[in-house]
């Protein structure tokens, strides 16, 4: 294969990759294919244009550095860049060599992260919760399952069954259930009495202590 044919093959196949990447990461990622054998008119493909360049524009400083240095890295990934209007860009540049090891093309990605950074700030502000005023609320009212789970957890922490709790422990449990608003549920007294194996009157006694 001649040098020219090989060069055309590399550009053609790289062009497919450029189009696929552009479609995948649209609209925030600009994808540019450079022909490094023609630095004065290097850009042969530009998708999702955010830099304001056009097909036929010259190679960048990085492109020229790659042309002039065979030892230039094949990949530069996620390096900082800036557009003319000051927007921050995260860039990646991939050099493509021919069979002799000479750079003949470069595939570059420029991600506009200024928009994403703005979105991140918005999300942080939107999800911020004001703390320090001591105010909390349960959006959903208590359910019988919540009461029974709290009783089981309280008892398990003491290595006991609910019905084996001492009088003092039952008093502490009732205070906890009341503080958490779980005794507001209709029928909660009967539910707790059954779980603890005690009479309704005992529950009222514990609540009034």
Once rounded to an integer, what is the mean pLDDT over residues 155-174? 89
Is 3.30.450.20 the CATH number for 3-114? yes
Once rounded to an integer, what is the mean pLDDT over residues 23-49? 96
Q: Are 97 and 103 in contact (CB under 8 A)?
A: yes
Alpha carbons 91 and 76: distance in angstroms, whole number: 8
Q: What is 108-132 written as a DSSP string?
A: EEEEEHHHHHHHHHHHHHHH----S
Confidence grade of residue 178 (pLDDT, cut at 50, 70, 90): confident
Q: What percent of the chain has pLDDT over 70?
A: 93
pTM: 0.61
**pLDDT higher than 80, residue 3:** yes
pLDDT of residue 36: 97
Alpha carbons 162 and 150: distance in angstroms, whole number: 10
Per domain, the residue ranges of the chain are 3-114, 144-208
Q: For residues 54 and 199, which has the higher predicted lDDT (pLDDT)? A: 54
Once rounded to an integer, what is the mean pLDDT over residues 107-125? 87
Task: Quote the tokens at residue 96.
Answer: 């493509």
Least confident of 13-22, 86-95, 189-198: 189-198
Once rounded to an integer, what is the mean pLDDT over residues 149-176? 90
pLDDT of residue 52: 94
Tell me the pLDDT tens digit for each residue of 48-107. 999 999 999 999 999 999 999 999 999 999 999 998 888 889 999 999 999 999 999 999
Phi, psi (deg, nearest 5) at residue 115: -65, -45
pLDDT of residue 139: 53
Alpha carbons 182 and 140: distance in angstroms, whole number: 11
């Amino acid at each position: 294969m001649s040098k020219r044919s090989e060069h055309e093959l590399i550009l053609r196949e790289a062009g497919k990759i450029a189009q696929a990447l552009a479609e995948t990461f649209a609209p925030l990622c600009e994808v540019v294919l450079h022909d490094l054998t023609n630095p004065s008119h290097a850009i042969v493909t530009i998708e999702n244009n955010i830099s304001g360049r056009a097909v036929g524009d010259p190679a960048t400083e990085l492109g020229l550095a790659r042309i002039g240095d065979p030892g230039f890295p094949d990949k530069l990934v996620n390096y900082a860049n800036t557009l003319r209007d000051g927007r921050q860009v995260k860039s990646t540049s991939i050099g493509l060599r021919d069979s002799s090891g000479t750079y003949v093309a470069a595939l570059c990605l420029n991600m506009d992260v200024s928009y994403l950074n703005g979105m991140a700030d918005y999300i942080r502000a939107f999800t911020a919760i004001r703390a320090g005023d001591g105010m909390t609320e349960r959006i959903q009212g208590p359910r019988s399952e919540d009461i029974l789970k709290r009783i089981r957890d309280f008892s398990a922490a003491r290595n006991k069954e609910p019905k084996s709790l001492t009088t003092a422990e039952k008093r502490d449990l009732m205070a906890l259930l009341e503080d958490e608003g779980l005794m507001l549920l209709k029928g909660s007294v009967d539910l707790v009495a059954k779980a603890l194996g005690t009479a309704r009157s005992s529950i009222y006694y514990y609540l009034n202590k």
